[in-house]
Structure 1
Amino acid sequence: MLGALGTVWSLMGLADLAQEGHLSRTNFRGELIPTGMGVSFLLGSCLGLLAGLWMGLYQIRDVVLLIAVLFGFGFLGLIDDLWGDDAHRGLRGHLRVALQGRISTGFLKAFYGGLLALVVALSVRGKEGLLMNTLIIALATNALNLLDLRPGRCGKSFLLGSFLLFTIGEARALRLLLPVVGGVLAYLPWDLRRVVMMGDAGANPLGALLGIGIISLEGSVRIFSLLLLIGIHLYSEKYSLSRLIEDNPVLRFLDKLGCD
C-alpha cells in the first residue's frame, strides 16, 4: 500500500518537473511525453521496503540489496533517458559505435550494468553458477528495456513475470517484490493513458528484479530462462518484437489490454 501511495505522490511531482525541464521524448505516436518517470515507483517501492523493514517483515540485508538494485540500475537507465541517442539502438549498434571510438550512453549502461549484475549475482548466490546468474540478471535487465516501446508493455510484462515467479518460487524471498508490484500497479494507469513514459529508469530495475527472482530458483528453470533471454536478444537484433507481438492474437490482446 505504501509503495503504491508513494508512487502516486512521486509521479505527480515528477511529471510536472519533467515538463518544466523539457525532459520529454516522442512516443510511437509522435506525442511528446515526459520520460524517465519510472523513478516514481522506485521511490514508492523504497518507501514500502523501508516500512516493511520497520515492521519486521524484511531483513536489513535484503532491503539494502533491493534498494541498491533499484537505484543502481535506475540511475544508469536515467542517464540514457536524458542523454541517450536513439540513432544507435541494440547491442550491436552500441558496440559498433564504441569500436569507432565513440562511447554512447547505451554502451556505458551495458558495461556498468554488467558489472552491477555481477556484484548482485555474487550477493544473492555467491560463486555458484556466477557466470550464468550474471548473464540472467544482465539480459533480464535489457529484455524489459526492449519491451518498453508501447504504453504499459513493460509494466505488464513485469507483473506477469512476478506472478510466474510467485507461483514457482520461494515465497519468503519473493515477497520482497510486493512493494515494487504495488508501485508498478499504481504507476501503470498513467503509462497506459500515455501521460508518462517509464523509460530505461524504470524498465532496467524491473528487469533486474526479475533476474534476481530467476536466479533464486534452482537448476533447470534458470537454464531455460537464460536460453529464453538469449533467444529474445538474438531475435530483437534482426527482427521487431513489436511486430511479433502484433502478429500473435494472444500477445496482441495482452499488449492492448488497458490501453486507450
Structure 2
Amino acid sequence: MNNYILYIVLFLVGLIGTYAIIPLFKNLLINSNVVRPNYKKDMIPVSMGIVFLPMIIINSIILIYFTKDPRNLLYVFVFIFGMISMFFAGILDDIIGNRDVSGLKGHFKSLFKGNLTTGGFKAVFGGFIGILISLSISKSIPNIIINTLIIALSTNLMNLLDLRPGRAIKVYLVIIISIFVTLTGYIKVLPLLILPNVLAYFNFDLKAKAMMGDTGSNVLGISIGILMVFGYSFNIRIIWLVFLILIHLLTEKYSLTKIIENNKILNFIDKLGR
C-alpha cells in the first residue's frame, strides 16, 4: 500500500473509531463510579485515557499487516509495549492513588521512608520500562542512560501539564505533530497509532466532560519519549533531555499553573476553547 494511503487509513480509523467508543467508555467509568472532582470540584469520569487503547491496537494490526520488512516490526511492538505498560501504571494511579504526596521528589522521599505510593511505583516502573526500551535499540551505555531518562521524563511531562482541561493535549499535539513532520523512514508512521485517537478525544477533555487521568497522560508522554529515542540524533536528544530536566526542576519549586496564569500569552492559549 502507498505510504500516504496508509497514513490516511490509519488516521481515519483512529479518529472515527475513537470518537465512536468514547460514549461507551464514559458510561462504563460513570457506572463503575470511577469519577473524581476536577479543578472546579465537578464530579466527572477519570481514566478516560482508556479510549486511546482500542484503536492503538486496531491500527497496529493494520500497520503490521502492511509491514513487509520484519526488522520494522521491532519498532511497532516496542512502541505498543511502552504505551500499554504505562497505561496500566496510570490506571493504577488513577484508581487507587493517594493524592497526599505529589511530585517526583515527594514520591521518592516517601519510597525511601518505606512507604510505596502509586506515583512512586509509576516512576520506578517507568524507569525500568525506559531501560528495557533503550536496550532494545542500543547497547551503548551513554545512549542507554540518555534514552532511559528521555523516556521516563517525557512520560512524566504530560502528568505535569494535565492539571487543567485541554492543557496537556494542546502541548502534546504541538510536539507530536512536529515529530510526525520531522521524522523520516518507517517510524514516521508510528505517531498515527495515537495522534488521531487524541484528536477524537480532545474536545471532551477541553470542555471538562471527562479527565484522561494518568491513564491517558502516561500514554501520551511515553509515546513522545519513544519516538524521540527512535528517530533523532544524539544532539537533538540531548537538547530535549536538557529541556525535560529544566521543566522538572522548575515544577518542583514553582506551580506551573501559576506561571501560566501570570503570563498573558500562555494564559490565553491555556484557556482557548474551554
TM superposition score normalised by structure 2: 0.89
Mapped partners of 1:60, 1:162: distance in 2: 21
Is residue 89 of structure 1 aligned with residue 90 of structure 2? no
- The aligned residue for residue 30 of structure 2 is 19
Q: CA deviation at 1:9?
A: 3.0
What is the letter of the counterpart of residue 232 of structure 1? I
Query: Partner of 2:154: helix, strand, or coil?
Result: helix
Mapped partners of 1:2, 1:138: distance in 2: 29
- The aligned residue for residue 46 of structure 1 is 57
- The 5-angstrom pairing of residues 227-242 of structure 1 reads 227-242=242-257
Is residue 110 of structure 1 aligned with residue 123 of structure 2? yes
Q: CA deviation at 1:171?
A: 5.0
User: CA contact under 8 A between 1:94 and 1:107: conserved in structure 2?
Assistant: yes
Query: Partner of 1:38: helix, strand, or coil?
Result: helix
Mapped partners of 1:187, 1:65: distance in 2: 24
Q: CA deviation at 1:132?
A: 0.6
Q: Please list the CA deviations of residues 213-242 of structure 1 after superposition, one character each: whole Å capped at 9, or x if unmatched.
A: 222200221111111000011111110111
Please point out which of 62, 65, 68 is paired with 2:78. Answer: 65
Q: CA deviation at 1:52?
A: 2.1
What is the letter of the counterpart of residue 52 of structure 1? L
What is the RMSD of the two structures over their aligned residues, measured on CA atoms?
1.7
Is residue 248 of structure 1 aligned with residue 263 of structure 2? yes
- The aligned residue for residue 184 of structure 1 is 198
Q: CA deviation at 1:96?
A: 2.1
Mapped partners of 1:46, 1:118: distance in 2: 23
User: CA contact under 8 A between 2:67 and 2:73: conserved in structure 1?
Assistant: no
- The 5-angstrom pairing of residues 166-205 of structure 1 reads 166-205=180-219
Query: Partner of 2:86: helix, strand, or coil?
Result: helix
Query: Partner of 1:170: helix, strand, or coil?
Result: coil
Q: CA deviation at 1:16?
A: 0.5
Moved over 4 A (4+): none
- The 5-angstrom pairing of residues 144-155 of structure 1 reads 144-155=158-169
Worse overlay, 247-256 or 24-33 = 247-256
Q: CA deviation at 1:45?
A: 2.1
Mapped partners of 2:164, 2:130: distance in 1: 26
Q: Percent identity?
A: 36
Unaligned runs of 5+ in 1: none
Mapped partners of 1:174, 1:155: distance in 2: 20
Mapped partners of 1:152, 1:46: distance in 2: 24
Q: CA deviation at 1:172?
A: 2.9
Q: CA deviation at 1:144?
A: 0.7
Please point out which of 136, 141, 144 is paired with 1:123. Answer: 136
User: CA contact under 8 A between 1:3 and 1:46: conserved in structure 2?
Assistant: no
Worse overlay, 60-69 or 237-246 = 60-69
Is residue 98 of structure 1 aligned with residue 111 of structure 2? yes
User: CA contact under 8 A between 1:121 and 1:133: conserved in structure 2?
Assistant: yes
What is the letter of the counterpart of residue 118 of structure 1? I
